[in-house]
């Protein structure tokens, strides 16, 4: 293998598993250390720079970081509670507004329209406002926030938290046009905007056309519409027996909301196996914890309506079989169909983009499935001044992805307005800093604790179910937050190897608790992975290979289960190993911190 090029900004970035997995590449270990040091305000700002909605995401994020967490690869270990630590920063921060960028009073003369007031548009606004853009935000509702307001129930995300983080942005001199549904893209284009950003999400919930659907219409609801009507207090009741169709996070929110609106016997019914459900495991657990059974392998067959009143639904029974390509087939088991009583049925089986308001003759090309053709890097449509982001760009994802899209779209819009190549991107901001404070003393807490993941405390169930506005999760208190933060392995503190200082004494090999380091003759990667001190079987994790040493061997470090404990560097007599903190930041349109 060739020596590893640690100058490549992505090499050490990839070692920070959580940050690498995060769509917005939030520097997770950095803010977790700040939390451990009680610097909640600073931790919040590190988040805010990167993901714009720390308070919201600390409660609702899909957490792509946690399955990636290195700690989860250790024996009997669960990942660090990254998401809930973010909330600790948000809950305990001090004054932050003064730390946010100043908005120039003199504008730069360019006007931007943002259609939709959700996370993608708000991120674009946040990134562009400090540059002096005049920004107009349009949303059909009376407040900003988009799906964060309409689709996430208050018992998971209190309105005050959302208002606070939306207002940080709208207070940056954004011209908000609420209660304004844009029904014609042409009108927007005819106005004098220099660029238009579409962040309208995926607002169309899928329906299910089964026998009896029309007759039952009064008691059949589309999931996201149901959640929105509850959020805006258009609905405060539901029948005692409720069926939720679908196994995603929207279905989980629907069933838990139904429990709070009078639903006593609320069931989630999915047509496929339980383990194939799309909902996050923790959201499924929360639903089950509120006495919602999840019935699987039961495809819905028909609605039963008697005298104009919905009585329930019939379901078939299937089992899943997977062919050699892994494709799933649902095979009927032959068991008799099951009837489930229902006063109301909520259909939460997915949602789609919908652009009825964009005229098809404007030069914005639409492709397969009637979605716009968007560049994956610049988020530009085929009409150069129009950009898309969030769910509106490539279909339903999540808040953190919308924020990541927003950052990139903001750069594109800035470049477009300034006559710079839209494809141009500045390199990420990187910084590699020695952590040595003295002999064997590090600037980070290198001791690896054995604590198991701490559970977030919950509100009493009776109280929680009595009012949909009572937040269920209470968040870590600061002592527990500290202990959970200490579980972080500090993967951003990199083990940097200088081959020209190494005397090949083997001290690092001998001390490494997880047998990551090997000195051996070089070879092809497949061969090397087999003959290291411990076999390197996780192919997603790189091998760090040094230049050839005086004994004609090379140092090979398997990054897979390195604990970043710093013992290799402590036991190295020549400081050939050094612990260095790697900060990686995605370059934004404007300087935020």
Q: Residue 501 CB, nearest distance to other proteins (Å)? A: 11
Near other proteins by CB under 8 A: residue from 107, 278, 301, 571: 571
By CB under 8 A, residue 383 contacts other proteins: no
Window contacting other proteins (CB under 8 A); options: 126-134, 454-462, 463-471, 501-509: 501-509
Residues 78 and 452 sit within 8 Å (Cβ to Cβ): yes
Judged by CB under 8 A, which stretch of 113-121, 221-229, 327-335, 511-519 contacts other proteins? Answer: 511-519
Residues 6+ apart with CB under 8 A from 215: 303, 305, 308
Selected from 304, 528, 567, 592, the binder of other proteins by CB under 8 A is 567
Told to check if 223 binds other proteins by CB under 8 A, we report no
- Residue found under tokens 């509850």: 230
> What CA–CA distance (Å, rounded) separates 291 from 180?
40
Q: Considering beta carbons, is residue 223 or 566 the nearer one to other proteins?
A: 566
Site track for other proteins across 531-550, x = CB under 8 A: ---xx-x------------x
Contact 532, 556 (CB under 8 A): yes
Please state the separation of Cα 545 from the chain's center in Å.
32
Q: Alpha helix (H) ranges present in 218-341?
A: 223-231, 249-260, 281-289
- CA–CA dist 580, 442 (Å, integer): 10
The binder of other proteins chosen from 419, 439, 526, 540 (CB under 8 A): 439
All residues at 6 or more sequence positions from 62 whose CB lies less than 8 Å from its CB, including other chains = 249, 280, 398, 399, 400
* Residue 551 is a binding residue for other proteins (CB under 8 A): yes
Q: Which residues contact 337 (CB under 8 A, 6 or more apart)?
A: 301, 314, 315, 316, 317
- Candidates 147, 258, 347, 448; binder of other proteins (CB under 8 A) is 448
Where does this chain touch other proteins (CB under 8 A) — which range of 96-104, 131-139, 405-413, 503-511? 503-511
Task: Round to whole Å and give the CA distance between 461 and 464.
Answer: 5
513 interacts with other proteins by CB under 8 A: yes
CA–CA distance, 355 with 103 (Å, rounded to integer): 33
Could you tell me where the beta strands, DSSP code E, fall in 106-151? 111-115, 134-138
Task: In angstroms, give the least distance from the CB of 515 to other proteins.
Answer: 5
Among 515, 521, 530, 587, binds other proteins (CB under 8 A): 515
- Segment contacting other proteins by CB under 8 A, of 126-134, 179-187, 224-232, 439-447: 439-447
Shortest distance in whole angstroms from residue 59 CB to other proteins: 30
The nearest distance, CB 16 to other proteins, in angstroms, is 18
Question: Residue 310: in which H helix or E strand, if any?
Answer: strand 309-315
Candidate ranges 216-224, 225-233, 323-331, 436-444; the one touching other proteins (CB under 8 A): 436-444
Alpha-carbon span 553 to 575, nearest angstrom: 19
Residue with tokens 């397969």: 368
Nearest of 531, 579, 448 to residue 543 by alpha carbon: 531
Does 574 help bind other proteins (rule: CB under 8 A)?
yes
Structure tokens at 408: 């990139």
Q: Which CB, 113 or 516, lies closer to other proteins?
A: 516
Q: Give residues 276-315 in contact with other proteins (rule: CB under 8 A).
A: none
- The stretch near other proteins (CB under 8 A) out of 136-144, 156-164, 187-195, 569-577 is 569-577
Asked if residue 505 binds other proteins (CB under 8 A), the reply is yes
Q: What angle do CA 315, 152, 51 make, to 5 degrees?
A: 130
**Interface residues with other proteins (CB under 8 A)?**
73-75, 77, 439-441, 446-448, 450, 503-507, 509-511, 513-516, 534-535, 537, 550-551, 561, 563, 565-567, 570-574
């Amino acid at each position: 293998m060739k020596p590893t090029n640690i100058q490549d900004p992505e090499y050490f970035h990839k070692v920070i598993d959580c940050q690498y997995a995060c769509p917005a590449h939030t520097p997770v270990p950095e803010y977790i250390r700040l939390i451990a040091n009680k610097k909640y305000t600073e931790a919040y700002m590190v988040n805010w720079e990167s993901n714009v909605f720390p308070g919201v995401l600390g409660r609702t994020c899909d957490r792509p970081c946690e399955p990636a967490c290195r700690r989860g690869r250790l024996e009997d270990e669960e990942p660090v509670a990254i998401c809930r630590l973010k909330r600790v920063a948000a809950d305990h921060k001090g004054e932050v507004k003064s730390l946010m960028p100043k908005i120039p009073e003199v504008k730069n003369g360019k006007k931007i329209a943002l259609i939709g007031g959700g996370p993608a548009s708000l991120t674009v606004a946040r990134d562009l406002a400090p540059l002096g853009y005049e920004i107009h935000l349009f949303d059909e509702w009376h407040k900003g926030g988009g799906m964060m307001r309409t689709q996430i129930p208050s018992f998971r995300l209190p309105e005050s938290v959302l208002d606070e983080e939306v207002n940080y942005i709208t207070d940056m001199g954004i011209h908000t046009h609420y209660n304004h549904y844009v029904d014609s893209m042409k009108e927007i284009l005819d106005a004098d905007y220099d660029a238009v950003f579409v962040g309208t999400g995926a607002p169309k919930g899928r329906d299910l056309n089964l026998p009896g659907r029309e007759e039952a219409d009064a008691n059949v609801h589309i999931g996201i519409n149901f959640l929105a009507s509850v959020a805006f207090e258009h609905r405060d009741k539901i029948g005692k027996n409720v069926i939720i169709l679908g196994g995603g996070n929207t279905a989980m929110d629907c069933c838990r909301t139904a429990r709070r609106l009078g639903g006593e016997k609320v069931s989630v019914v999915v047509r496929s196996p339980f383990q194939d459900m799309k909902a996050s495991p923790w959201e499924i657990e929360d639903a089950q914890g509120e006495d919602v059974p999840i019935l699987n392998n039961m495809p819905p067959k028909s609605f039963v309506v008697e005298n104009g009143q919905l009585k329930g639904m019939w379901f078939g029974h299937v089992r899943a079989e997977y062919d050699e390509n892994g494709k799933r087939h649902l095979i009927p088991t032959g068991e008799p169909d099951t009837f489930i009583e229902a006063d109301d049925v909520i259909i939460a089986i997915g949602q789609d983009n919908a652009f009825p308001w964009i005229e098809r003759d404007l030069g914005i090309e639409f492709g397969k499935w009637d979605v716009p053709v968007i560049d994956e890097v610049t988020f530009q449509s085929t009409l150069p001044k129009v950009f898309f982001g969030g769910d509106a760009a490539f279909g339903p994802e999540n808040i953190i992805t919308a924020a990541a899209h927003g950052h990139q779209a903001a750069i594109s819009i800035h470049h477009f307005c300034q006559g710079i190549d839209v494809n141009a991107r500045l390199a990420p901001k990187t910084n590699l800093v020695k952590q040595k404070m003295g002999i064997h003393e590090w600037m980070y807490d290198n001791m690896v604790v054995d604590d198991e993941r701490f559970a977030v405390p919950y509100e009493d169930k009776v109280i929680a179910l009595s009012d949909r506005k009572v937040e269920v999760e209470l968040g870590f208190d600061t002592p527990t937050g500290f202990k959970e933060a200490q579980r972080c392995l500090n993967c951003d503190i990199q083990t940097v190897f200088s081959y020209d200082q190494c005397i090949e004494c083997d001290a690092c090999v001998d001390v490494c608790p997880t047998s990551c380091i090997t000195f051996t003759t070089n070879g092809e990667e497949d061969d090397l992975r087999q003959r290291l001190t411990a076999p390197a079987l996780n192919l997603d994790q790189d091998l760090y290979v040094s230049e050839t040493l005086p004994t004609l061997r090379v140092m090979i470090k398997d990054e897979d289960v390195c604990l970043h404990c710093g013992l290799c560097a402590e036991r190295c007599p020549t400081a050939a190993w050094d612990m260095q903190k790697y900060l990686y930041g995605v370059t934004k349109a404007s300087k935020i911190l």
